Structure 1
């Protein structure tokens, strides 16, 4: 076992010494950190030094996708130890400017959203639960299934919105529609969902027809920027996992459009992946998973709401719930690896496995968070004095 090496990649990895691990390369094993290794990195090919220094995330992510880098043991376990040290990653923002700061025009953002969500409903059906919920669940009990956690999450959101029969509810970024369908069936509201994904719209419309809710629920292909021009208003607004696609330059535009269609005193719940500070995003995630994705900080959204006379009623972190949700998805994904690989290819399959495991690790380490913010447009003195939900 050696600690000294002429290989740049091994020398580079020595900076990540918070947790001990081994690196095997060209028949040699190199130990990093102190103590027994908690995981092993098997390198089959040298990784270009300039790529590592330009973006550690891209260089290591692409090496894993191609099979040039293998992790011995549980992928989440290894990433959980490694990704807690992302402050040691190298990122040349000047060289990566076009990737990190992509255009936030309507046309480009529609292209970025459909890239991720129009992969095919059959693909997502393999590893999501029956509700087709692609966002953080809510685990009331340690033993809750993924399906139960997603049902819990939707019910918690609907309770926070203090819904009453015949209220109107707008879902910005409605996904496959489970939330609006449940709101219509359980609370008797009239719901409208908007999405940029044709695949999601198609499945949502099938669900509406199957449930016989054509007079209660509808879905439209629409950009949030067009809301203010529709001439409609709503008693309640919800947006789950959509703000991450808006981009920092457009957060205020998003709030303004919500403000334009929410009735005075109306409630809005924003459920989104958040960050402790303002950060432009991870290059690998932006290139391969969520083009244009940007994670807002909690403080900037609270600030924007207050600037537009939205009163904050409640803020809740579901960070650990999202880690559990992602581990459920990762397990389901792993259970269908042969089928996914046959359908999407080996490199794609490795890429998505890395994405699901890596995201679980970043939530576990607090690199990213998940917040629900509940606000009212102006003052609302009609709500219960306590957290009614």
Structure 2
């Protein structure tokens, strides 16, 4: 499969679509008035403080402070574009806060009930739909991946740790087994929450962070049964750390990606580690795997299923089923959301879709279990839930990203990009800290007669 660097025409040099200007008129005035009323009612029930300038009006029950510098713009954007407008009004500086993640965590914990049930039924009428060009078809997927992962290897190196791992770290291995509950399909393990740690220089991560990223990868390889002689497939190469560690165990690795820049650096890192003879990195869509006829003893994928799109989850897992050798095992790290929220938000176009991950959508653990049972012979046999570890991972990334401001600007990115990525990292941290979204390592084996 031939793939070239490619961005949609509407994407600018910062990897973002241009920000649409506000338009006046009766429709904007009415939607802004509705948004103002709904926002004030919702915030009035939350443990936050919102201050509207210049009047000084205060809303909320007290807590992290949000300042509306330009309330008219904020409510107009919120009324016109909902949560996309909420994010865009932060991008323009219409509102701000000294503790972005702390503020966002409060509403995230009550996301399902912020809007009255009577109005939630109108969601399908007012929420924008995912644009056709962002759906994760074979024709669109490379552009979706390029939008984010081909921004700049140097950019990611500024805030990731030395392993260049762009996924949740696992800070320790202590766990508790809990009964079936929301976000699981049976008894499962939950990782003990980590203690937040800040090192003296915010521009650098402490050694414990790289250790935590390595611990995450080694557990996935253990769950997949990767040992000397294993034939390993990795879907989503990243910058090569998992492939290097699998090769170090004596495995042969086929790792696929749609990111040109990730592939180039991954190959350099794999060569530097001395494993070019054991690891083959290839530009390939996962859907092309079945046609190769190759089979693997272990299939591993870290936070890639989120980019598949709900229409293609069946194809993704069926492909894994097809290429898994008899007796093989599958280990996937997946960001998930509650099943009920997943059902009502399918096809929605979000701020994250528009500015960060085009075409992305989070599955639930339940839907993964349903699809694999209905369409494959692999079965979910183990789950490690570790959402608190992702909150800490993101907190560290965001801290380092902000501390590297001059270096980010030196790469050619601008102040708007800084605000977009700070919001992305803090918004994601809030999701995990509140429990609205989660991350798990999921292990699958083939069903036996």
Q: TM-score scaled to structure 2, two decimals?
A: 0.78
1:153 to 216, 231, 236: 216
Paired with 1:52 and 1:99, the residues of 2 have a C-alpha distance of 20
Corresponding residue for 2:327? Answer: 265
Conserved in 2, the CA contact under 8 Å of 1:273 and 1:296?
Answer: yes
Q: CA 1:166/1:232 → structure 2, altered by over 3 Å: closer, same or farther?
A: same
Q: 1:201-212, aligned counterparts within 5 Å? A: 201-212=263-274
Corresponding residue for 1:131? Answer: 163
Q: 1:24-173, aligned counterparts within 5 Å? A: 24-34=51-61, 36-47=62-73, 49=75, 51-71=77-97, 73-87=98-112, 88=114, 92-94=123-125, 96-99=128-131, 102-140=134-172, 142=195, 145-173=208-236
Segment of structure 1 superposing worse, 53-62 or 240-249: 53-62
Deviation at 1:198, TM superposition (A): 0.3
Are residue 247 (structure 1) and residue 305 (structure 2) matched? Answer: no
Segment of structure 1 superposing worse, 315-324 or 194-203: 315-324
Deviation at 1:334, TM superposition (A): 1.3
Paired with 1:269 and 1:122, the residues of 2 have a C-alpha distance of 29
Are residue 373 (structure 1) and residue 442 (structure 2) matched? Answer: yes
Segment of structure 1 superposing worse, 163-172 or 341-350: 341-350
Are residue 360 (structure 1) and residue 412 (structure 2) matched? Answer: no
Corresponding residue for 1:383? Answer: none
Segment of structure 1 superposing worse, 157-166 or 239-248: 157-166
Corresponding residue for 2:46? Answer: 19
Are residue 200 (structure 1) and residue 262 (structure 2) matched? Answer: yes
Structure 2 unpaired stretches of 5+: 1-31, 173-193, 198-206
For residue 436 of structure 2, give the secondary structure of its aligned residue in structure 1.
coil
Deviation at 1:55, TM superposition (A): 3.6
Size of the aligned set, in residue pairs, is 372
Q: CA 1:254/1:378 → structure 2, altered by over 3 Å: closer, same or farther?
A: same
Q: TM-score scaled to structure 1, two decimals?
A: 0.89
Deviation at 1:83, TM superposition (A): 2.7
CA deviations 1:133-192 (Å, max 9, x no partner) are 00111011636732121011011111112222111100001211101101111x100011
2:368 to 289, 293, 301: 301
Conserved in 1, the CA contact under 8 Å of 2:168 and 2:213?
Answer: yes
Conserved in 2, the CA contact under 8 Å of 1:228 and 1:257?
Answer: yes
CA deviations 1:243-280 (Å, max 9, x no partner) are 01111110010011111111012000111111111232
Deviation at 1:311, TM superposition (A): 2.6
For residue 176 of structure 1, give the secondary structure of its aligned residue in structure 2.
coil
Segment of structure 1 superposing worse, 48-57 or 160-169: 48-57
2:353 to 277, 281, 286: 286
| Root-mean-square deviation (Å) | 2.3
For residue 110 of structure 2, give the secondary structure of its aligned residue in structure 1.
helix
Conserved in 2, the CA contact under 8 Å of 1:362 and 1:368?
Answer: yes
Paired with 1:99 and 1:84, the residues of 2 have a C-alpha distance of 28
CA deviations 1:287-306 (Å, max 9, x no partner) are 10111111011111011222
Corresponding residue for 2:407? Answer: 339
Q: CA 1:317/1:184 → structure 2, altered by over 3 Å: closer, same or farther?
A: same
Paired with 2:47 and 2:267, the residues of 1 have a C-alpha distance of 51
Paired with 1:79 and 1:112, the residues of 2 have a C-alpha distance of 26
Paired with 2:394 and 2:223, the residues of 1 have a C-alpha distance of 24
Structure 1 unpaired stretches of 5+: 1-5, 381-389
Deviation at 1:33, TM superposition (A): 2.6
Q: CA 1:269/1:47 → structure 2, altered by over 3 Å: closer, same or farther?
A: same
